[in-house]
């Protein structure tokens, strides 16, 4: 592999992904704008023209914002790689690490490099997050968070990143340096263990840092939900209501945790909008994902992809062309593990983008299966009316561009879902 060839492949992949993204988004904007004037016939009785137009405006505003963010992020990526940003940062952190005691230098330099890189990334993201939350979400009446809460969330996220992220990063970097040519197998094991740990502690330790969880108090709803779960042969350790309304008006329901520690969590915003039968149908849909083992399949797929990723990284990091081709001069007197890891995380998604339609396709297939399960165990009619309410509430467009939806949508467009439920 020659550096020039890799630079070229990277530049071509980046340009191609940008072209595809711009093309898809402009299709979406045009399609939604041209159908803005009229509610589609299938929804005429259920959706008002005002709601339809709000959804169109929201979709267009987010798409346009997405295009700006896309161009900005591509420029940042080029800056880090081919334009030499990461290489310059690397030289600077390497120099600074010489101030550390000698036995700490190698690890201190590597952790420092990743930490400074992440910090710069977070700062570059911040204005976009602020604009998205306090301009766009605000303008459409969805934002409920305050600047104080926004920054408190950010600081908590940062503290979690340091507390959880830094140790696993140090462990992986140590394995890369000390575990021999098969380090990637060990590192993969460590990474999987870490992921499982996070999944286990998420409901009881991490989620409560950001939200309040209270046992579901509505006795009638509780009985309804418990009957459904018994009917489906499903055990969970408690039904909870989460104060999602602290941050956003968007509603949701989900399961979290593992095995017998599984919890059912309803957003308070969901319970405020749906009646008991509709909540039951939404929950039955989620149970459908479990019954069809979609969650397990996703976890197994994630494990397999990580293994392939670590193996690929193990090979790439031994090729000088991997660094030079992505604009970085590898170190001679210090380990290159952190550099390789970062380049891999920067360049990987550029190539990975092209499998998006495949992932979307399988995700939509899972959603149809979960809908069918909900129709069998609860009621297709109630699920339809719940979906309509949630759709309207999230200002999801009823008229997406078909090509855009095929490419990106993890859930089938509302028209297809309702048609399948009614068939």
Q: Catalytic site residues?
A: 286, 371
Q: Which of residues 365-384 bind Zn ion (CB under 5 A)?
A: 367, 370
Question: In angstroms, rounded to a whole number, what is the distance separating the alpha carbons of residues 318 and 340?
Answer: 9
Q: Minimal distance in Å, beta carbon 375 to Zn ion? A: 13
Fill in the per-residue mask, 254 to 283: x = in contact with Zn ion (CB under 5 A), - = not in contact.
------------------------------
Q: In terms of CB distance, is 367 or 401 closer to Zn ion?
A: 367
Cα dihedral sign, 412-413-414-417? negative
On the 0-12 / 13-18 / 19+ scale of CB atoms within 10 A, 42 is middle
Question: In angstroms, rounded to a whole number, what is the distance separating the alpha carbons of residues 418 and 384?
Answer: 6
Q: In terms of CB distance, is 373 or 404 closer to Zn ion?
A: 373
Fill in the per-residue mask, 321 to 360: x = in contact with Zn ion (CB under 5 A), - = not in contact.
----------------------------------------
Q: Minimal distance in Å, beta carbon 284 to Zn ion? A: 11
Only segment of 257-265, 274-282, 316-324, 361-369 that touches Zn ion (CB under 5 A): 361-369
Single out the residue of 171, 418, 163, 390 nearest to residue 278, CA to CA: 390
Q: Are 248 and 143 in contact (CB under 8 A)?
A: yes
Cα 135 to Cα 26, 64, 247: the distances in Å are 21, 13, 14
Q: In terms of CB distance, is 31 or 411 closer to Zn ion?
A: 411
Single out the residue of 155, 279, 265, 165 nearest to residue 208, CA to CA: 265
Single out the residue of 339, 338, 317, 318 nearest to residue 328, CA to CA: 339
Only segment of 28-36, 133-141, 158-166, 363-371 that touches Zn ion (CB under 5 A): 363-371
Contacts of 79 (CB under 8 A, 6+ apart): 85
Q: In terms of CB distance, is 135 or 365 closer to Zn ion?
A: 365
The helix (run of H) or strand (run of E) holding residue 361 is helix 356-377
Q: Minimal distance in Å, beta carbon 410 to Zn ion? A: 9
Q: Minimal distance in Å, beta carbon 22 to Zn ion? A: 29
Q: Minimal distance in Å, beta carbon 290 to Zn ion? A: 11
Q: In terms of CB distance, is 52 or 417 closer to Zn ion?
A: 417
Q: Minimal distance in Å, beta carbon 367 to Zn ion? A: 5
Q: In terms of CB distance, is 337 or 367 closer to Zn ion?
A: 367
Question: In angstroms, rounded to a whole number, what is the distance separating the alpha carbons of residues 401 and 27?
Answer: 6
Q: Minimal distance in Å, beta carbon 385 to Zn ion? A: 17
∠ CA(196), CA(301), CA(297), 5° rounding? 85
Question: In angstroms, rounded to a whole number, what is the distance separating the alpha carbons of residues 270 and 253?
Answer: 7
Alpha helices in 44-182 (DSSP H): 49-80, 85-97, 102-131, 138-139, 147-160, 166-178
For the record, the structure tokens of 3 come out as 């550096």
Q: Which of residues 23-82 bind Zn ion (CB under 5 A)?
A: none
Q: In terms of CB distance, is 134 or 290 closer to Zn ion?
A: 290
Count of residues touching Zn ion (by CB under 5 A): 2
DSSP string, 18-58: HHHHHHHHHHHHHHHHHTTTS--GGGTTTS-HHHHHHHHHH
Binding interface with Zn ion (CB under 5 A): 367, 370
């Amino acid at each position: 592999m020659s550096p020039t060839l890799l630079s070229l492949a990277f530049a071509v992949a980046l340009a191609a992904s940008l072209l595809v993204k711009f093309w898809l988004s402009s299709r979406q904007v045009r399609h939604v704008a041209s159908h803005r004037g009229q509610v589609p016939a299938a929804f005429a009785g259920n959706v008002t023209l005002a709601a339809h137009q709000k959804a169109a405006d929201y979709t267009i505003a987010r798409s346009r914002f997405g295009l700006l963010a896309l161009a900005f992020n591509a420029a940042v990526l080029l800056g880090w790689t081919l334009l030499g940003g990461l290489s310059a940062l690397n030289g600077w952190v390497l120099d600074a690490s010489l101030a550390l005691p000698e036995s700490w230098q190698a690890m201190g330099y590597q952790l420092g490099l990743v930490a400074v890189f992440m910090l710069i990334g977070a700062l570059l993201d911040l204005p976009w997050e602020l604009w998205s939350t306090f301009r766009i979400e605000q303008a459409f009446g969805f934002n409920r968070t305050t600047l104080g809460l926004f920054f408190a969330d950010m600081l908590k996220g940062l503290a979690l990143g340091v507390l959880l992220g830094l140790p696993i990063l140090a462990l992986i970097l140590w394995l890369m340096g000390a575990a021999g040519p098969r380090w990637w197998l060990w590192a993969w094991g460590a990474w999987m263990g870490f992921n499982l740990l996070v999944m286990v502690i998420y409901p009881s330790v991490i989620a409560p840092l950001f939200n309040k969880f209270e046992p579901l108090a509505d006795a009638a709803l509780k009985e309804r939900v418990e009957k459904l779960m018994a009917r489906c042969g499903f055990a969970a350790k408690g039904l909870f209501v989460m104060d999602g309304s602290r941050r956003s008006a968007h509603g949701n329901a989900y399961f979290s945790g593992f095995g017998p520690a599984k919890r059912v969590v309803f957003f308070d915003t969901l319970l405020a909008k749906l009646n008991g039968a509709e909540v039951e149908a939404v929950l039955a849909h989620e149970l459908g994902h479990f019954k069809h083992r979609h969650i397990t399949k996703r976890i197994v797929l994630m494990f397999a992809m990580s293994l392939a990723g670590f193996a690929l990284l193990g090979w790439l990091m031994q090729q000088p062309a991997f660094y030079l081709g992505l604009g970085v001069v590898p170190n001679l007197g210090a380990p290159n593990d952190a550099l390789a890891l970062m380049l891999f995380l920067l360049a990987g998604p550029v190539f990975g983008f092209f499998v998006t339609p495949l992932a979307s396709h399988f995700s939509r297939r899972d959603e149809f299966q979960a809908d069918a399960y909900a129709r069998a165990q609860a009621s297709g009619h109630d699920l339809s009316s719940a979906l309509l309410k949630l759709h309207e509430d999230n200002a999801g467009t009823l008229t997406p561009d078909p090509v855009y939806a095929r490419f990106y949508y993890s859930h089938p467009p509302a028209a297809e879902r309702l048609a399948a439920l009614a068939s």
